[in-house]
Amino acid sequence: MNRKVTLEDVLLSEIQPSQFYISDLKLKNIWGWFNKEDLSNFSPIPVKMLDDELIMTDGHTRAVAAILSGLSKVPLIWQEDDLDWNLYRLCVKECKNRAVYRPGDLIKHHLSVEDYAEMWIA
């Protein structure tokens, strides 16, 4: 993939996560507003071409909710902020070490609030 990718055509299964855990509580909260038939409340998931790979920079839990609802696509947006890309490279590498290659892989990597705070946030 390259930067000329049309985001409307990208499937969730084609995006590499940069996070290897999601929070049960965040997922529960998303179910309070998520409607797969109406994505008007769905903030686009930011993505970035990093080392010739399309990665998610945020929105991992929303992506999992979409997948669990049977969606293969959601609104995406190019990440324009200048973030710590070396940190993202490390996170992507660790995702791959943990067999997290696409957002659907995160379905098996959800944690309680306490464990999420300790194992991801900290």
CATH at 63:
3.90.1530
pLDDT on residue 2: 47
Q: Are 19 and 90 in contact (CB under 8 A)?
A: no
**What pLDDT was estimated at residue 105?**
96
Per the model's pLDDT, the better-predicted residue between 3 and 4 turns out to be: 4
In a domain, 22, yes or no: yes
**Is 1 within the bounds of a domain?**
no
Q: Would you say residue 30 lies in a domain?
A: yes
Q: What is the pTM of this model?
A: 0.88
- Of all residues in the chain, the percent with pLDDT exceeding 70 is 93
Residue-wise pLDDT tens digits, 8-67:
899 999 999 999 989 999 999 999 999 999 999 999 999 999 999 999 999 999 999 999
Q: 76 lies in which domain range?
A: 7-121
Whether 11 is in a domain gets the answer yes
Q: How many domains does the chain have?
A: 1
Alpha-helical (H) ranges within the chain are 24-31, 60-68, 85-97, 113-116
Higher pLDDT, 6 or 10: 10
* Region for residue 52 given its phi and psi (left: phi exceeds 0; alpha: psi -120 to 50; beta: otherwise): left
